[in-house]
Structure 1
Amino acid sequence: MAESFRDPQRGGSLIVAWQIKEKTVLIVGGGAVAASRVFNALDADARVTVVAPELCPELQYRFSSAQIVWKDRKFVDADLEQADMVLTAISDVQESRRIADLCKQQRIPVNAADINDLCDFWFMSTHRDHSVQVAVSTNSKAPRLANRIRRQIASALPRGTGLAVEQIGRLRKRIREADPKPENSKRRMTWLTQLCDYWPIEQLARLDADNIDTLLDAYVQNHDPQSVKIAQDTTTSLSSSGMPSPVMQTSSTTDVHSPEPVEGKKGRLVLVGAGVGDPELLTVRAHKELKQADIVLADKLIPEPVLDIIGCEIYTARKFPGAASEAQDDLYRRGLEELAKGKRVVRLKQGDPFVYGRGGEEILFFRKHGYEPDVVPGLTSAINGPGLCGIPVTHRGVADQVLVLSGANRNGDLPTVPPFVATRTLVILMAVKRLERVMELLRQQEFPADLPVAIVERAGCTDQRTVRGTVSTIAGIVERVGHNAPGLIVAGHAVNILSDAAIQDRYLDPSTLGLHSAE
């Protein structure tokens, strides 16, 4: 049973966001390092007291503008009486050790600059953008490298990340004011989660008061946040990804023209399935094509470990709410441009391109423009996702057929579920967010209330998880333990046929153990 749990890596720090608002931070020292510590404490709304015979120019400014309290002398033991945290930034190592010992005796958290063995906590290299804070720690082993890593992370954040957080904060406050009942907290959280997961950060950053009113009205009327259309001016602007922002989008481009090929050149297009998430589960052919490509046109949901093996340019057109067709057109357009240059183009799609992946549509499109794509299939989560989590979709004497349905058709409707067949395993993709409604459809088709149901989450990724229940209990279980998208629904007697083995499996999250039998 012990093999079911991860072993700690050890050697790290417990990273937390420490709330020190209105708490007293005592800083011993008046130089540049002390000034840096003062700024960090003020940035977190702490009350700051500095003890030092002299102050550097920055601290003199902060004292003269009443940002800090200054005790013009050396440290004395009584200075600790009101302190909630102590930071030493002095050159006297012995005095720093003495102060640190006093703090430990009084259980006051202490940090001593450049003396790691005295520190209860480290200061990390941080990036601040409004309410967004990103911190990098090397556990005091390579602080200069931490700065470099932090800069690289900050440069990769979408434009407007901090503003997006501020706007979501305003919308969240408005929703709580409009719907303050505690029993509706789950609905508020679910609706905002869908908004944050699906809408691009660039679009959220553009929200204004009118947009927030529109979204609030959509919440009150229980509209899916993916379906909300935001009207602004008619100017089309580009997000940081180069895609037209759907906030400003007023029309879509449906006619994609094929550019004239460069003389003597004709590109090659390969449609590649990325499989279920783990790059080791790519086919040998898929791996080869990704390595030989001149450019890869990738779906939004391709996992980072798969993208990491690609050495050429990766172009991703993210499918934003209200702009899925525009994103698809953008991929078509870029593909034709690169093919006209004689490039080797890989169109990388999640799972298998022909299992609810619009692979057939893309074949027909490029064929119309004179290119016949090669196809490299990938493992589909519909079959392999359950298998990775200990659920065989067929099993002798239990399940002799599999039905795969999509929970997100062209019009956003739920699938048509046929009547219950005891020996059939039903797999529904892209429908976990509407789990309760899906279970109602199953009950209408006489699926037994105690029929096993599993939610397979992030199949093939290192954090994949299985949540088990029945037709009557699974919605409540998922509401309690939460959901990590993307996921799929599996219903049928095969779900628990290997349940004892599945519980021992490393992929099964310990928080869900026994739920299928206890609920």
Structure 2
Amino acid sequence: MSYFPFFREIEGEKCLVIGGGKVAARKISRLKGFGVKIKVVAPSIVSDIEAVAQACDNISVERRIFTPQDIENVDFVIAAAGEEVDKEATRLCKEKAIPVNVVDNQELCDFIFPSIVQKGDMVAGFVTGGKSPHVAAKLRRDFEANVSDNIESILDYLSEVRTLAKEKIDDDRKRAAFIREVSEFCMKADRVCSNKEENAFLQKYLDNRSETVLPGAALVGAGCGSYELITIKGLNEIRRAEVIVYDDLIDEHLLEFAPESCELIYAGKRSGRHSKAQEEINELLVEKALEGRYVVRLKGGDPYVFGRGGEEALALKEHGIPVHEVPGVTSGIGLCGMAGIPVTHRGASRGFHVITGHTADNLSPEVEEIRWKSYAKLDETFVFLMGLKSIDMITEKLMRYGKLSDTPVAVIHGENTDGTYVKLVGTLSDIAAKVKEVDFPSPAIIVVGEVASLELTD
């Protein structure tokens, strides 16, 4: 069973707690800071409840057994008196449509208590569907350790900033951009803005010399496999995105980090089946950025390593849209490493070259010949991306121009989601036949050189 995390105002509501033991005391301790009027009914009351009742005006205690009249005029009930009393209380609550929480009996509960982090108006709750309160508590502790001690003052300040923005900035886009930039500054600096800093941000968006202030765009490399391989900066860009245009070769778990309001647009491109042409993608990025929304172009590997990120950056810059790149782990290095192949290794390779496996139709035969001759002369590592369909041509030309036929070759395919890979090893003379024999999956990289025979991971 899954629980949707509703948050609602309960200040001033009436809560009946049936039971006066340690479990009831824990429930009361969670509620006492939310302004709820709590009445505890039980024949015996532990000292913890007595102490908190004496300290808090909104908590009262009655030492007696529970009666049906107790649930009259209450907003919700916590039953922690034992199985027989709890079942009777639940029955009465159901008849009157009063929400009830029954301790240690999830089936009878209308609501459950999350493991809570509260710092001022910042409240977060963690639940595991009742499966493991210990895990929920662990998640809460981990989260709480990363929440700034200044969060309450920052939130109070940002509330004032929203009021200031409404008073001073008429343009909706500029106002939203101002609030976003100040919020990001405060969270990163872990403090509120000084008067000078606030005024500088405000003047930037009051400057009438520019009609529109565009948030801009980021070209983000998602890495070459599991979502865990993205950089922290890349993940932060996803978290602040208002539009994400994403590729086929990403782990789609990354999209779960996007804000709920973020627009997600698939623009995958694989050999033989393109969702959108590159020109369409360029136009889409420009269009969304000109709407005044922060755009993240999420690309597999690294945007500038055969990802056509340069073309996208130029298209954005031509329209005056600020753009920056967040590097990603390219498969030409990362996938080799995962498969136990170092692209450089002392005594085997002093350098490496990352080359597109696609044929270049605009190159003359003479230029092609010069290029392949230069490759064949180098005693270094070659990594061909997107070259599986051209593996016959690649191996044949390398051998024709001087590479030994027994030069080691590895072909590697990596999964997007779990970081696993498939590797096939051979030589220049036989790898193409092996690929066809096993119907090797695409996309794949081809590694040529002595390092391809190494296997440094288990």
TM-score normalised to the size of structure 1?
0.43
Q: TM-score, normalised to structure 2's length? A: 0.48
